[in-house]
Chains A and B, each alone.
Chain A
């Protein structure tokens, strides 16, 4: 294997791909999408609705509904000054009949839902809500809380407790969040900032790894299908070709990652400090490179057995599914970034780069963990490259019929 031919292949892959429109689009569209994906759901979830909502309320005690309505009206007001929630009293003699009647009216969308305050609510402490949609947790909780408070204060009054005093005493605490970092500095932070930073870096690293890996397989398939492969192989060895491609497209990924990192630095200087992505940029970039090498060598080996674009997409699809697995563990990692679960996941090579990136963004793990994970990656990459190059050498020359698993197995066993 000569280095100069390898570098020629790498340079070609790099310079030809960096000029394409697809690359430029990905370069700037991906960060935009990332921001959109991490911010928009949060914004939407915290956004107040601006429409009046009507609920039905059955008051089995006959004493609470008026106070509930008044409290709700004074507490929750729309921008236009109108009350946010209308509570229409449900009337009737028999509770079962009321429920069956109002169920229909709820279904016909006359009401969002119906709250049932049973006669024995003070003793049983049970409120019922009927609705086709029981997922609008915020409203259910708000109205439920108001009812609860009224019942409590009612009881306190009966026991001659000073309500004003009670309210002053039971004022909720406001927890201030200050993030402590390794260098001893402290900074004000909040969940959202922390989550967004970690989430964005996870998202970007996965996109980077998978898109570059896919580009690699696509370029391979193009050469295979139009038989440029044969001309290339009459000029250089399959190893030179494989490593040249890995290097060239890796360089491309590096440019992409660098630009994204720069955008993140600019963005966070606009938003203010706290976006964890920026502080850890170099180490995140290192994990991105390791992740790329691992996934790209895997894809180029397996991808070389494909004979059509379709097959290649199937193959890369499965590998990409592996790479997005860390999203399943986000909540666990956020709650306990140094827990056993996080530690175990950090040393599975398929997950290491993204899990470690995420952990570093949340709370930097100890140095030995970072070093160990890097060693795990390096060993896995060497292994994958060794196996992939065996498949690659034969895979790129097989046309028409995809290599079967048995044939691939035979290749892997053969001595190179």
Chain B
């Protein structure tokens, strides 16, 4: 279990990368760390990995402060992919395992089952450069988990994968959770975060703006949000007395009700004007939660465009 308390890091030149950040990742939980570029995700990860030192605050893993020795029970898959192209898969995996102080004999026993799990059985002697990009990503993933770490940090593990492999990776990650590992999952893809994460930490400008279990967060924001799909001109919706806030897209609207109004009241107001095809009062999307918490103007435009693209 990972505990982070009051973590702060300021770089030279006064850039505050991480600002009084506290959160924890329990065993058998997947914690999604979300946030725009420059929010402080990489700096936070690097501090957890003991690559850079915090100015202030503490990081403990299984109740022990992070040290060089902690690296042996950490697994890390960085966002950018890269391996030694000229080396064989087996040698590469043995090297990374040896740096985690796993003996070659132990590592060798684990390599083949992992390769088989990723449909790469028997390919250990091949050179990395002979593999497709997706398969290289699998090898890199194996390198991050081969030493059976307690804490696994995955930075955009699904990006660049075809749908079948995305499903495969997701199954593997869920399996690892079942085995009791604490998993940090960094992503821009709010959709995949919603399907896989148990907990959510949203960082913006180095600060935690939202933190808790996905369930509790959703519950907190479910109470008065309605999503509809319709035909016709919905531009009048935001002006209705029962509507506090409405987000319109072509044929879709996410509507937050004014206190004291019910769904029926809203419907009676809009039914005369448009044809309703679908109505949904389930939990709001992470994006709408985020925008309502942070305010759209505070999220950098690049995060919004990335996330909203995935929603469409």
* Chain A residues within CB distance 8 Å of chain B: 1-2, 4-5, 8-9, 12, 16, 20, 222-223, 225-228, 230-238, 397, 407, 410
Interface size band for B = 20 to 34
Instruction: Scan residues 36-82 of chain B and give those whose CB is less than 8 A from a CB of chain A.
Output: 46, 49, 51-52, 68, 71-72, 74-76, 78-82
Listed residue (A227, A228, A235, A407) with the most chain B CB atoms within 10 angstroms of its CB: A235
Given A227-B80, A228-B82, decide whether A233 and B51 contact each other with a Cβ distance below 8 A: yes
Enumerate chain B residues within 8 angstroms of A230, measured Cβ to Cβ. 51, 76, 78, 80
Enumerate chain A residues within 8 angstroms of B205, measured Cβ to Cβ. none
How far does the alpha carbon of A236 sit from the alpha carbon of B96 in the complex, in Å?
10
Determine whether the beta carbon of B86 is less than 8 Å from that of A235.
no
Given A230-B76, A410-B12, decide whether A397 and B143 contact each other with a Cβ distance below 8 A: no
Listed residue (A16, A20, A222, A231) with the most chain B CB atoms within 10 angstroms of its CB: A231
B84 within 8 A of A: yes
B99 within 8 A of A: yes
Enumerate chain B residues within 8 angstroms of A225, measured Cβ to Cβ. 82
Mask: chain B, 107-149; 1 = CB below 8 Å from A; 0 = not? 0000000000000000000000000000000001001100000
B83 within 8 A of A: yes
Determine whether the beta carbon of B87 is less than 8 Å from that of A235.
no
Enumerate chain A residues within 8 angstroms of B144, measured Cβ to Cβ. 231
Determine whether the beta carbon of B82 is less than 8 Å from that of A12.
no
How far does the alpha carbon of A231 sit from the alpha carbon of B51 in the complex, in Å?
10
**A-B pairs with beta carbons under 8 Å apart, 9 shown:** A226-B82, A227-B82, A228-B82, A228-B84, A231-B144, A235-B72, A235-B99, A235-B100, A407-B12
| A233-B51, A235-B72, A397-B51 known, 8 other contacts, Cβ within 8 Å | A1-B68, A226-B82, A228-B82, A230-B78, A230-B80, A234-B71, A235-B99, A235-B100
Given A20-B86, A228-B82, A233-B49, decide whether A5 and B99 contact each other with a Cβ distance below 8 A: yes
Cβ of B40 to closest chain A Cβ, rounded Å? 15
How far does the alpha carbon of A8 sit from the alpha carbon of B86 in the complex, in Å?
18
Determine whether the beta carbon of A231 is less than 8 Å from that of B96.
yes
Determine whether the beta carbon of A8 is less than 8 Å from that of B95.
yes
Determine whether the beta carbon of A16 is less than 8 Å from that of B99.
no
Cβ of A240 to closest chain B Cβ, rounded Å? 9
Determine whether the beta carbon of B71 is less than 8 Å from that of A231.
no
Determine whether the beta carbon of B78 is less than 8 Å from that of A235.
no
